[in-house]
Chain A
Amino acid sequence: MALLTLLAIVSVAIVRQRSLFGVVVLASIYSFLMASVLIVLDAVDVAMTEASVGAGVSTVFLLTALHLVKTMEAKDTRRSLLPLFTSFVIGVMLVWGTLVLPPFGTADAPIHKHVAPRYLQQSIAETNVPNVVTAVLADYRGFDTLGETTVIFTAGIGVMLLLRRRRRSENSKAGDTQ
């Protein structure tokens, strides 16, 4: 609960902060808090990913991106009533949706009844890997992980295509003069 309160405080601070450098640092703090929440929920693998990707590398990326743009958020001149209304409605709908979910942590929730028992009981016999998360990630759900890897591949290619264009045009210019 304390962690969730801190998360809420950091979110409000991110919204109110106008210096983008501050926003990046606060977002990093947010990710670390999120990682702590995930550890509390016993999802150590996810917590590790959140800490390394969310708090670590993406902070560095945002700072390097900040290096390329202005560091102060521009004042918004438009009215913010419609976006506020939209996000309020969506928030209410999300909360409304959680009301019909089974109570948090119950053992007989549908998600624990479908394939999870099989994973927990059979994964060591079938894959020889004690960490069930790894077994599910790389073996039972190998297709999903292949898709994720492809997403990362696509993201990398996309960023390189967007950001390296200038250098290539310089090269072609240099080639023209030769």
Chain B
Amino acid sequence: MSLDLILRIGAKLILPFILLFALYVQLHGDYGPGGGFQAGVITASMVILASITFGLERAKRIAPQWLVEVMIPLGVLVFAGTGVAGLLMGKNYLDYSMFAPDPAHGHELGILLVEAGVLITVAGTMIAIFYAFVERGR
């Protein structure tokens, strides 16, 4: 908590942009490099940076423990649920053709959903591991 003023102000300035970059990597993953894994890790790194500079309590106001713990299974459920949705719509598991009238658009939507699931699980897991280590150390 008694860290350098410049470091704290700098971190404060950079935090929203890290999150913005994570969203960019996530949503632009269809067009450029990136996707759920990378965006999830970048999201987690934002929380970790907040925790390092401002302390664990402040970081937990951004990402509370319960939210992180819900995120870990939620992402897998979103991913698997997307597959089940395809199943219910009369296609194979993880076939996204039926999500939109045009099969190609359906695939695009399915990829978006699946990537969101990956993002949620990866971000949740990374933050949870970090919290677990930090709390064990105290």
Residues of A within 8 A of B (CB): 44-45, 47-49, 52-53, 56-57, 60-61, 64-65, 67-68, 125-131, 133-135, 137-139, 142-143, 145-146, 148-150, 152-153, 155-157, 159-160, 163-164, 166-167
Contact = CB atoms under 8 A, between A and B. Distances in A.
A47 B135 CA distance: 31
Contacts of A61: 129-130, 133
B37 A53 contact: yes
B41 A56 contact: yes
Contacts of B36: 138
A155 B44 CA distance: 15
B29 A131 contact: yes
B76 A138 contact: no
A113 to B, nearest CB: 24
Contacts of A129: 30-31, 107-108, 111
B14 interface: no
A45 B25 CA distance: 10
B126 A57 contact: yes
Contact of A56 (B31, B45, B104): B45
B130 A53 contact: no
A127 B44 contact: no
